[in-house]
Chains A and B, each alone.
Chain A
Amino acid sequence: MEISELRGLLIGSKATGKTTFIRRLSRTKKSEYGLTMKSTDYNIELQIPKRDGSVVSVSVIISDTPGQRDFAYQSFSDGIKTDFIVMFYETNTLDTFNQLSIWLADIKNLGIIKNRKLPIFFVGNKIDLKDDRMISDQYIEAFLDSFKKRYNWDAPVQHYFISAIDSSTLDILTVLRRMFVITYKHMKAFNIQPTQEIYRLGGFT
């Protein structure tokens, strides 16, 4: 089975940097977008180096979803498709991190994911705001342990600290590449076909 295209879903509370993360690749200015009101798909071509030295070209379609809950409803009501989930929070507040649990409860409640868990990537954004950082490595480690236990999540779970605006931190393409490879390997190991449907997300924060 060769997979050359995968779908990812960005979710998380408003103003956590989901759109900035994905838009950075196109170098658009922050003032050119603003509040995301409906789900938008971005097609990103990735070059993945293989062990034999060759490079394969793959694409990942990322759905950027609204963090504002009422717009999220409207976007998700038609159903969305994804192979992996990227959950955003900001490292300089506790509240956006705490809100992850409501988004997670929504995901757990989705029919499709009850049957099969998707790879999930937690992204702590705004790590460039060093002095304001409130989420420690210790905190994340304990959160991930608790999450895996609580949800019995057998698919890959990863965490990245990034800055969507500061290129000196982990590069966004590197993050996406890792997400692709981890999802790809997981799907190959369990012979999972790409693109599963999610019916909707709901709930407020």
Chain B
Amino acid sequence: MNLDNLDPETVSIIKKEIHGMTYLNLGGYKLDKIPDFVFDMDNLGYLDLSYNNLSEINEIPSDLIYLSIRYNNIKYYDFANKGLKRIILEGNRINEVPLINSDNLLAINLSFNKLEQFPELKTKNLILLNLHGNRIFHVPDDLCRLSNLVKLYLGFNKIERLPDCFGELQDLKFFSIQSNNLLEIPASTFKIFRRIHFDFSNNYELRTPLNDINSMSLVNYGVEAPSINVYSDPKLRENTRKRSSDNVEFPWEKEIAIKEELYRRIMI
């Protein structure tokens, strides 16, 4: 394909300038390889190749900071480009990933793949990790080294336990582990419940002392289908209800704002 073949209105939708870099969205063009002209583009920062037929990625443009390859047929991605800040590989067929050791990476989305092992991550600046919908059953202690994590999604896996050190993730604000096989929640985790969104729902094997859960504001606990969501500080919830609806501020958003400068350029 080539951009010259497309009508100008379509080109204006799929090619833009964002944050001073070029954004190109080639989603849905049934591509089986990255078109050659993409490599000739100047300052290409954002590339979306979702909903194509790509089965492998050998080389990507060198300036990229954002790469989205959602819903293709990729089985292996080597994470070789060290400049990427955000990579979205959702809905592919990836069953293993190599060591990921780029300090530039801020957000990794490997959701809805076929991963059985938790990826080996040496990415100290990672803010967001999304591993929803894989087949992971073991979460290693190494997870706790990702001290900058703000959002962690582990829902729809087969996880039975969390590492004991989980409470050391000081910056964590959103954590979802819904629809897993959790058996228990490590005691160290309780200390961070008060300041994070925490979703345990649909962990049918979970046996957690109700007293502990109550003290942390139980939102929903059904007997037939235990569905537990534990929220942040009950006082906080009470306060947010009292405030005028269009003027809600959340403390965790302020803390995220500290990382905003890092994060701003990869949200599009």
A and B form one complex: yes
Closest residue of A by beta carbon distance from B224: A199
Task: List residues of A whose CB falls within 8 A of some B CB.
Answer: 31, 33-35, 37, 69-70, 73-74, 77, 93-95, 98, 101-102, 105, 109, 111, 131, 133-143, 145-146, 150, 199-200, 202-204
Is B123's beta carbon under 8 Å from chain A? no
**A142 to B51, Cβ gap below 8 A?**
yes
**A143 to B220, Cβ gap below 8 A?**
no
**A98 to B178, Cβ gap below 8 A?**
no
**B220 to A94, Cβ gap below 8 A?**
no
**A109 to B267, Cβ gap below 8 A?**
no
**How distant is the Cα of A98 from the Cα of B130 in the complex, in angstroms?**
12
Evaluate whether A35 and B28 lie within 8 angstroms (CB atoms) in the complex, with A70-B231, A77-B219, A204-B197 already known: no
**B246 to A33, Cβ gap below 8 A?**
yes
Closest residue of B by beta carbon distance from A149: B71
Closest residue of B by beta carbon distance from A131: B12
Which residues of B lie under 8 Å from residue A145 when comparing CB positions?
51
Closest 3 CB pairs of A and B: A34-B246, A142-B28, A142-B51
Closest residue of A by beta carbon distance from B227: A200
Evaluate whether A101 and B268 lie within 8 angstroms (CB atoms) in the complex, with A69-B197, A142-B27 already known: no
Show 28 A/B contacts (Cβ-Cβ < 8 Å), sorted by A. Answer: A33-B245, A34-B245, A35-B246, A73-B219, A73-B229, A77-B227, A98-B88, A101-B91, A105-B132, A105-B155, A109-B156, A109-B178, A109-B202, A111-B225, A133-B12, A134-B16, A134-B23, A134-B25, A136-B14, A138-B10, A142-B50, A142-B51, A143-B50, A150-B71, A150-B91, A202-B178, A203-B176, A204-B199
**How distant is the Cα of A135 from the Cα of B197 in the complex, in angstroms?**
30
**A77 to B199, Cβ gap below 8 A?**
no
Closest residue of A by beta carbon distance from B18: A134
**How distant is the Cα of A140 from the Cα of B231 in the complex, in angstroms?**
35
**A138 to B28, Cβ gap below 8 A?**
yes
Query: How many A-B contacts are there with CB distance less than 8 Å?
Result: 129
**How distant is the Cα of A98 from the Cα of B153 in the complex, in angstroms?**
15
Interface of B (DSSP majority class):
loop
Evaluate whether A95 and B220 lie within 8 angstroms (CB atoms) in the complex, with A139-B25, A141-B28 already known: no
**How distant is the Cα of A69 from the Cα of B153 in the complex, in angstroms?**
13
Which residues of B lie under 8 Å from residue A34 when comparing CB positions?
244-247
**B50 to A139, Cβ gap below 8 A?**
yes
Residues facing A in B211-268 (CB within 8 A) are: 219-220, 222, 225, 227, 229, 231-232, 237, 240-241, 244-248, 267-268
Rounded to whole Å, the gap between the CB of A203 and the closest CB of chain B is 5
**A200 to B220, Cβ gap below 8 A?**
yes
Closest residue of B by beta carbon distance from A71: B240
**B246 to A31, Cβ gap below 8 A?**
yes
Which residues of A lie under 8 Å from residue B113 when comparing CB positions?
none
Is B201's beta carbon under 8 Å from chain A? yes
Which residues of A lie under 8 Å from residue B51 when comparing CB positions?
139, 142-143, 145-146
